[in-house]
Structure 1
Amino acid sequence: MNRIQKKACHQKLLIRISLVTTILTPYFVTATPPRNPDKTVNCEILVVGGGLSGVATAYEGSLAGRTVCLTEITDWLGGQISSQGTSALDERPTQRAKQFYSRGYLELRNRIQRKYGKLNPGDCWVSDSCFLPRDAHNVITKMLKDAEKQGKGKLQWFPNTVIKDLQLSQDGKIINSVIAIQHQPAKNAPPLNTFTLSQTIEDAYSYQNSSRFTKTIIRFLPKQSQNKTSKWYVVDTSETGEIIALADVPYRLGIDALSYLEPSSSTTSNDPYCTQGFTYTFVMEATKEPENQVMPPFYPEYAPYFSYELARLANFDLVFTYRRIWSPQQGKQTKFGGVNFTSPTPGDISMQNWTWGNDYRPGTSKDNLIYTHQQLRSTGQLQPGGWLGGLRTETFRKGEENSLAYYYWLVAGNTDSQLGAGVKQPQPNNRLLTGFNSPMGTAHGLSKYPYMREGRRIIGRPSWGQPEGFGIWEVDISRHNYNDEYYRKTLPTNMYRQLKATLAGLEVTSVIRGEISPDKAMRRSRSTIFPDAVGMGHYAIDFHPCMVKSPAETPGNKERPGERRGSGNAYPFQIALRAMIPQKIDNLLVGGKSIATSHIAAAAYRVHSFEWSSGAAAGTVASFALKHNIAPYQLVNDLPKPEPQLQVLKRLLEQNGNPTAFPNTSIFNQKWEDWK
């Protein structure tokens, strides 16, 4: 090795040591009383969270000519496909083939294709479209600017901004104002995205300036209309349901109890600590020569967890190309485990998002990431000025370490926790991409925010058939055959009869009247059709279950038994407006992963096109409500009786290119098996 090569290796070693030190170094923030706002901003629609659902809300609000404010904790828009790094579109074949998506999502796909000259510049095999997260942010930014110009609205984006407090009306039904904190690097401090999220998140929620950040306190208020009235809508599209927790509206978290609506639940009682795993994604580049791989000091702690998971997946090239997001030259055609792909070549870039890899899957009260209502109370986060995001910072840190350890396992590891010895071989011809100009845009190489699969989920308002609060459940979407022995033996007799009656389809009336036994009724071959559908989606019920023991990386740890039972194919499904309307507060709407779904249904209601569809619905509903001076709950209050204004809203959505149902949706259509 010559002097130049030695110097290069030394510099890489210093960078790695710096990354590890960044994660391990503690940083303390002391709570202080609130400051007076530095500025006031008026909006008609305040969108909290710049993920795909929030972007879609802002997109439709802008096209409708509204004044929209959009806040985001990171400095990138796009959530899953940018700041969270999962820039591989999760789609189902039939929906993709028919191009049956919301207009904004179609525009996003078209712009990605124009950007690269093809939809799949990564030549990945998990999706028809894998691309660079940095480019996703740029594409979305331009889309929103164009929508603002076309609709003659006003869009104000507030990056690096978190919500700190809400002011409610005296009766608690209206959000009157929202206090936010925006941060920028302090004088002589390192740039944003130098430090990991675990080191900065508590600082971001503190009113005081710090050695890292200078803060701007913003008060958001409703914009006064021409007739001197002040009305607005706040839309929670955050990744974990921040506003619904801060506003203290009823919500669910984690596993729902076994019932005829959730017959595959793994527990007979609720378990709020077992949510789906979250993932700090990273990108790695294939190199021509071996790289000097430096073991993180915490690697031995996490190594017992990592695995290819299944023998048919136990191939490095297969895993590398699974979510390959950039491939400048095509490798040779290869096949492993029944999957066809092109082999990696030097310069290829892969994004890693692997269940037994950089997924971090806590599941106990000691390490759960998303604090429950009780935990928020006990930690003082629901006290005035006490809100710190509602998340466990230590678990973020563990997830960051786990992800960097997984990279080292991929390139240097020789163990496999599930498949045993001799399966995993070192792959030194790779490097972790870091730096502000890297695809992730961070000095440490991890995504700016972890990919969140599940957050707090509202309980909708009481509705016919669901007097305790509306929700979308497993039985509303699953293709499961519930005739098998497991359900007959596991479910109590009355619960099993209720399940069969619920799935009876066209014969449900005869079952209710007792003319047909539930066991003999023909199961419907479609999802539930909602009269208040305002969007739609399609994806499998896909689980990344929590682990049994704490911490998640404990040697020999297992997934929560029974969690994957609910997984499997789902029918195309709808987004009911009732699932977006929380209890208690009349000017709050919910989009994205926090709509009123069950734990099992949420495993399908979480992917890219669904997020966009729910956001498109939220933006349209908010604008419609402002125009017609009607609260969203009033559009569904009398269901199942006719709701004339609801029908006007649904026609508007359809006319705008935001479908609310799949083609030929009807209780008489029994051909939904064709949708794959």
Structure 2
Amino acid sequence: MTHIETDIAVIGGGLGGVAAALAALKRGHRVVLSEEHPWLGGQLTSQAVPPDEHIWVEQFGVTTTYRSLREGIRQYYRDAYPLTDTARRDLQLNPGRGRVSRLCHEPRVALAVITRMLAPHLSSGRLTVLQPHVPIAADTTDDTVHSVTLRHTTTGAETTVSATFVLDATETGELLPLTGTAYVTGAEGRDETGEPSAPEHGDPTNVQSIAWCFVFDHVEGGDHTIERPDDYAHWRALAPAFWGDAMLSFTAPNPRTLRPETRTFNVNPPYATVVGDEDPRADAGDDDLWIFRRIAARETFLPGSLDSDIVLANWPQLDYLGGSIIDTPDRQAHLRAAKAQSRSFAYWLQTEAPRPDGGTGWPGLRLRGDIVGTDDGFAQAPYIRESRRIRAMRTIVEQDISVALRGHRGPARFADSVGVGMYRIDLHPSTGGDNYIDVECAPFEIPLGALIPVATRNLLPAAKNIGTTHITNGAYRLHPVEWNIGESAGELAAFCLERELLPADVLAKPELAGRFQATLTEAGVDIHWPEILGY
């Protein structure tokens, strides 16, 4: 067994893990960063989902390093791709011209930018990246984590990492049970949190659905139909009571009204069909599935560069409702089933989907494994919306951030804020049988207390595993917020390491908390929202 000693161990290489590692490295500390999948970047890369962001993202509301990531992606396209003159001059270039985001792009480009951001730290020797590795054990005594043991997913070789601080940036909070850190799963009850959108009683198995995304384009006149899945009949018959049709259809509930609606699917629509400046507060942008999460639009590139748009499938029809992958012996079975559901939807698109011309199916739809780094066109990992969550010194509840409950009183502020975020409370249909839960949010902040476990002394959450509830996780789970959480956790570990403090010490003493907030501000982390009424 290999043994590594370091200052800070970041377990999990998604957006939060990358941001945490960068923050600690820029302070001069040694970092070990581990990741289960071939690509760093989590939901942005191995899960293939372009960023879900708030409407002010081009002006404010994200950290300086997250903005560097976004601008790095745009610059990569300018440097490497045959853009039209209009696209090249566009300061807010959106390569996919998708409706879900002002920056829809290919996951491999984000990977290239993340790799570049980490490169100098690899050269310095202060960063060690362990891939593909998963945590399998931890040595913890007296609420202090001494080491984490990782296993290589291919060879089975094990590596033990000893560190002064350990950050859990895994997609589902894998270190929490391994280290004995108190945590919550699933839905808390209204009897516990008082949240109007919570069920009356809690259910730890009721989590947001996962979705196994895939990427495709269309070859006119071609036939790229995949083999009919053996379990296709099972998925073809699946029709939840609230769905309004079979899940293998263009119908799904409207997240805000809960009424079933039928979407369109216009393959390679004419140029200039989307302006791209629509306000998602009034229009979610998902009326047409093709353009909703399109990641490369033909009109962005010089004529002849792309024969087809490139589209990411991350739609309601892929939401897997069959069970939770957290704290269950059936985890692998649920992962296989989630991918099988997506594979059946891809086959349905190729063979049975109703076309505008009255025909059925688009056999020319071609899965693009080269775009996502796989052989089959499906993402390396499922899109995971909900994690285990620490029992924190401060738990964020619906009452803290809901516009309906707070009224229009400006941003949801916390005196101990360590960052900002903004998104609706957006919960997808769940494994407990819930329909969407969609609640309008105020711009919110990230309280330091939500990053501090009630007992474990030197472990910090650095992803979707902070002190939220099942309900508020629906707002705090998106790309820029996860990055901010990870960056602030990395800064907190560095701050404590340099002063021989524990995170709970910083929270307990207002003077220390203020000094830490000043450190964050200096690093380019906004800790409070500007006044945004009228924007």
For Structure 1 versus Structure 2, the TM-score category normalised by the shorter chain is 0.7 to 0.9
Given that 2:96 and 2:300 are in contact with CA atoms closer than 8 Å, whether structure 1 keeps it comes out as no
Q: Does 1:402 align with 2:317?
A: no
Secondary structure of the corresponding residue to residue 220 of structure 1: strand
Please report how far the alpha carbon of residue 126 of structure 1 lies from its aligned counterpart in structure 2 after TM superposition: 1.5
* CA distance 1:534–1:424, shift in 2 (3 Å): farther
Q: Does 1:369 align with 2:325?
A: yes
* CA distance 1:50–1:292, shift in 2 (3 Å): closer
Please report how far the alpha carbon of residue 262 of structure 1 lies from its aligned counterpart in structure 2 after TM superposition: 4.2
Q: Which residue type is aligned with residue 441 of structure 1?
A: G
For 1:592 and 1:135, how far apart are their aligned partners in 2?
A: 22
* CA distance 1:423–1:63, shift in 2 (3 Å): farther
For 1:254 and 1:644, how far apart are their aligned partners in 2?
A: 35
Q: Does 1:656 align with 2:527?
A: no
Secondary structure of the corresponding residue to residue 472 of structure 2: helix
Please report how far the alpha carbon of residue 571 of structure 1 lies from its aligned counterpart in structure 2 after TM superposition: 1.0
Given that 1:121 and 1:130 are in contact with CA atoms closer than 8 Å, whether structure 2 keeps it comes out as yes
For 2:401 and 2:363, how far apart are their aligned partners in 1?
A: 44
For 1:611 and 1:661, how far apart are their aligned partners in 2?
A: 17
Matches within 5 A, 1:181-330: 181-182=151-152, 204=153, 213-222=154-163, 232-259=164-191, 261-293=193-225, 294-304=227-237, 305-308=247-250, 309=252, 310-311=260-261, 313-317=263-267, 318-329=288-299
Please report how far the alpha carbon of residue 330 of structure 1 lies from its aligned counterpart in structure 2 after TM superposition: 5.9
For 1:424 and 1:592, how far apart are their aligned partners in 2?
A: 45
Superposed CA deviations along residues 226-252 of structure 1, whole A, max 9, x for unmatched, are xxxxxx110001100101122232211
For 2:46 and 2:180, how far apart are their aligned partners in 1?
A: 27
* CA distance 1:577–1:148, shift in 2 (3 Å): farther
What is the match of residue 176 of structure 1? Answer: 146
What is the match of residue 57 of structure 1? Answer: 20
Q: Which residue type is aligned with residue 648 of structure 1?
A: R
Superposed CA deviations along residues 228-284 of structure 1, whole A, max 9, x for unmatched, are xxxx11000110010112223221111111159543334211111111111111111
Superposed CA deviations along residues 43-92 of structure 1, whole A, max 9, x for unmatched, are 11100110000000011111111101000001111001111111x21111
* CA distance 1:220–1:43, shift in 2 (3 Å): same
Q: Does 1:107 align with 2:68?
A: yes
Matches within 5 A, 1:224-623: 232-259=164-191, 261-293=193-225, 294-304=227-237, 305-308=247-250, 309=252, 310-311=260-261, 313-317=263-267, 318-329=288-299, 346-355=307-316, 357-362=317-322, 367-371=323-327, 392-414=331-353, 425-434=360-369, 438-461=370-393, 470-480=394-404, 482=405, 503=406, 523=407, 525-547=409-431, 559-560=433-434, 563-564=435-436, 566-623=437-494
Please report how far the alpha carbon of residue 295 of structure 1 lies from its aligned counterpart in structure 2 after TM superposition: 2.0
For 1:322 and 1:458, how far apart are their aligned partners in 2?
A: 34
Q: Does 1:125 align with 2:86?
A: no
What is the match of residue 226 of structure 1? Answer: none
Secondary structure of the corresponding residue to residue 371 of structure 2: coil
Secondary structure of the corresponding residue to residue 604 of structure 1: helix
For 1:636 and 1:350, how far apart are their aligned partners in 2?
A: 45
* CA distance 1:346–1:301, shift in 2 (3 Å): farther
* CA distance 1:246–1:477, shift in 2 (3 Å): same
Matched residue count: 481
For 2:359 and 2:315, how far apart are their aligned partners in 1?
A: 15
Superposed CA deviations along residues 619-643 of structure 1, whole A, max 9, x for unmatched, are 10000000011101011125xxxx1
* CA distance 1:423–1:615, shift in 2 (3 Å): farther
Unaligned runs of at least 5 residues, structure 2: 79-86, 88-92, 238-246, 253-259, 268-287
Q: Which residue type is aligned with residue 314 of structure 1?
A: T
Please report how far the alpha carbon of residue 572 of structure 1 lies from its aligned counterpart in structure 2 after TM superposition: 1.0
Given that 1:99 and 1:106 are in contact with CA atoms closer than 8 Å, whether structure 2 keeps it comes out as no
Superposed CA deviations along residues 350-404 of structure 1, whole A, max 9, x for unmatched, are 110011x222123xxxx32211xxx5xxx6xxxxxxxxxxx71100010111111
TM-score w.r.t. structure 2 length?
A: 0.85
Secondary structure of the corresponding residue to residue 110 of structure 1: helix
Q: Does 1:93 align with 2:17?
A: no
Matches within 5 A, 1:129-168: 129-146=103-120, 154-168=126-140
* CA distance 1:276–1:412, shift in 2 (3 Å): same
Secondary structure of the corresponding residue to residue 439 of structure 2: coil
Secondary structure of the corresponding residue to residue 42 of structure 1: strand
Given that 1:65 and 1:148 are in contact with CA atoms closer than 8 Å, whether structure 2 keeps it comes out as no
Secondary structure of the corresponding residue to residue 295 of structure 1: coil
What is the match of residue 29 of structure 1? Answer: none
Please report how far the alpha carbon of residue 134 of structure 1 lies from its aligned counterpart in structure 2 after TM superposition: 1.8
Unaligned runs of at least 5 residues, structure 1: 1-36, 183-203, 205-212, 223-231, 332-344, 380-390, 417-421, 462-469, 483-502, 504-522, 549-558, 665-671
The structure with the largest alpha-carbon Rg is 1
Given that 1:49 and 1:238 are in contact with CA atoms closer than 8 Å, whether structure 2 keeps it comes out as yes
TM-score w.r.t. structure 1 length?
A: 0.68
Partner of residue 47 from structure 2, selected from 84, 87, 93? 84
Please report how far the alpha carbon of residue 413 of structure 1 lies from its aligned counterpart in structure 2 after TM superposition: 2.0
What is the match of residue 647 of structure 1? Answer: 514
Given that 1:580 and 1:589 are in contact with CA atoms closer than 8 Å, whether structure 2 keeps it comes out as yes
Q: Which residue type is aligned with residue 370 of structure 1?
A: I
Secondary structure of the corresponding residue to residue 156 of structure 2: strand
* CA distance 1:528–1:292, shift in 2 (3 Å): closer
* CA distance 1:64–1:662, shift in 2 (3 Å): same
* CA distance 1:162–1:527, shift in 2 (3 Å): same
Identity of aligned residues (%): 30
* CA distance 1:324–1:629, shift in 2 (3 Å): same
For 1:106 and 1:45, how far apart are their aligned partners in 2?
A: 24
For 1:613 and 1:277, how far apart are their aligned partners in 2?
A: 24
* CA distance 1:621–1:266, shift in 2 (3 Å): closer
Q: Which residue type is aligned with residue 315 of structure 1?
A: F
